[in-house]
Structure 1
Amino acid sequence: MKVSVVLVGAGLGLRMGGSVKKPFMQLHGKPVFLHTLERFSQCDKISETILVVSENDIENLREQWQSNLDTFKVKKIVPGGKRRQDSVYNGLCHIDRNADIVLIHDVVRPLIKKEQIEAVINKVKETRAAILAAPMKATVKEIVSDFCIKRTVPRNTLWMAQTPQGFERKLILEVFDKFKNSEFEFTDDSQMVEHAGYPVYIVPGTDENIKITTPEDIRLAEALIRK
């Protein structure tokens, strides 16, 4: 069985402020993206990784980090697109045609665990489509346009989607081919698969699999690494 990984890090990272994009922010002595690559390289089931970044970052990556990329099974660096789904599609176009399963992961989720990666892979074997997610703990309010609360949403069936999101290769390629020119902006890959009418299953994860979007997230990630 062959498993390919598409690591997506082509966003502008504007929410962080400053001039350093999120994948290249320093975390515990090295860039965020290297932590993520290292975590995936610990999983023996993965045969290759496609790294999707902004076109402006490719040359710098190759100049500064090529030895690390080779160590962590990075087969190719490809430029991202205008939207996240465009970036993912660009990555999918370069995966091994003999791959059985594809994992799609936000490169700015550097605290993913080997056991979680393997759990998603195993669930995809059973179901064709599975994502890591954490149960909703907060009380969620639905509001109307003037910020007046319309209702409290029952949280017992609510889960917060994370990555990796895993799919049978043939399935995810079929779905992306179907919607690649769609004007609708999908917020994650599983939404696109759901939209195509396929069931997607959840693998329970934890809140520690954070996505680096703010300076506070960097500080939290530092604390979690030291824990």
Structure 2
Amino acid sequence: MDITAIVPAAGEGKRIGGHKPYLLLQDKPILAHTLITLQKFDFLSEIILVVKKTKIDFCRKEVIKKYNLSKVKKIIAGGATRLDSVFKGLREVNNKAKLVFIHDGVRPFLSEEVAAKVVRAAKRYRAAAPAFPCIETIKEIKDNLFVEKTLLRQKIWFVQTPQVFQRALIVKAYEKAKKKGIRAGDDTELVERMGQAVKLVKGNYRNIKITFLEDMILAQGLCRT
């Protein structure tokens, strides 16, 4: 089955003080680590990379060519938001692709075991993502930071990427979202809004999204294990 990966990496990185995908992790850009990982997955047919327009040449020369990432077939300019960038990526997906595999460019520690489980679930259920159970107490708050209520931790899971979908399903979800001006926290929310059930599979804590400077310290440690 043909599976196309879309890797959005066009964010501003405001919370970390720079363009996250290009921060160096053991002398390689974070984005390079992520793409090297995806390159190794036999079940992926191709990768579409979505970056800021000003970074296209850099990615082509210093990431794709330098690390021989042959599965990256297209590098395109992203949009104003992550959802805009993914939508642009979806327009470039080969019509032969049955599944679309959407993975954050700043999650370099995805394991093949987890990715394969998500793909298998998507083949069966049309939409799937990795997640892990919450281990902290979660509070819903008021605007003044007083507690509104305590949420039931046992029913709260943290969702990661890759989020994998039947191609026709995710294209339809994005087209509907664009038409209605819908914004969402992630890709799965868009198909949920259409009434599609999303199957979660057990992920792991290593699959971090590098968002804050503290995450870089953790990432350095993960590189050594």
Is 1:59 the counterpart of 2:57? The answer is yes
Query: What whole-Å deviation, never above 9, does each CA across 1:15-68 have from its counterpart, x for those lacking one?
Result: 111xx4100100122110111111111110100000001111112222323424
Percent identical pairs in the alignment equals 39
For structure 1, which segment, 157-166 or 54-63, has the greater mean C-alpha deviation from structure 2 after superposition? 54-63
What SS class does the counterpart of residue 170 from structure 2 fall into? helix
Partner of 1:108: 106
What pairs with 1:179-218 in structure 2 (closer than 5 Å)?
179-218=177-216
Unaligned runs of 5+ in 2: none
**Can you list the C-alpha shifts for 1:64-96, whole angstroms capped at 9, x where unaligned?**
234246534101001111111110000011111
Once residues 72 and 166 of structure 1 are traced to their aligned partners in structure 2, the CA distance between those partners, rounded to angstroms, is 21
- Give the TM-score taking structure 1 as reference length: 0.95
Specify the alignment match of 2:32 in structure 1.
34
Q: How many residues align?
A: 225
Distance 1:7 1:69 in 2: 16
Question: Does the aligned pair in 1 maintain the 2:35–2:69 contact within 8 Å?
Answer: no
What TM-score results when the alignment is normalised by the length of structure 2?
0.96
Matches within 5 A, 1:41-56: 41-56=39-54
Instruction: Please give the residue correspondences for 1:51-200 in structure 2 after superposition, counting only pairs within 5 Å.
Output: 51-68=49-66, 70-200=68-198
Q: 1:53 to 1:119 in 2, by over 3 A?
A: same
Report the AA paired with residue 119 of structure 1. K
1:6 correspondence with 2:13: no
1:52 corresponds to which letter in structure 2? V
The one-letter code matched in structure 1 to 2:87 is: Y
- Contact kept, 8 Å, 1:37 with 1:72, in 2: the verdict is no
- State the 1:184 CA deviation: 2.8
Runs of 5+ consecutive residues of structure 1 not aligned to the other structure: none
Is contact 2:7-2:104 (8 Å) kept? Answer: yes
Matched, 1:220 2:202: no
**Secondary structure in 2 matching 1:95:** coil
Two-structure CA RMSD over aligned residues (Å):
1.2
Secondary structure in 2 aligned to 1:119?
helix
Distance 1:51 1:28, change over 3 A: same
Q: Distance in 2 between matches of 1:145 and 1:178?
A: 31
CA deviation digits over 1:141-189, x for unaligned, max 9?
1111221112110011111110000001111111111112333321100
User: Does the 8 A contact of 1:130 with 1:203 survive in 2?
Assistant: yes
In structure 2, relative to structure 1, the CA distance for the partners of 1:68 and 1:96 (3 Å cut) is: farther
User: Which amino acid counterpart does residue 2 of structure 1 have in structure 2?
Assistant: D
Closer/same/farther in 2, CA of residues 48 and 68 from structure 1, 3 Å limit = farther
Q: Secondary structure at the match of 1:181?
A: helix
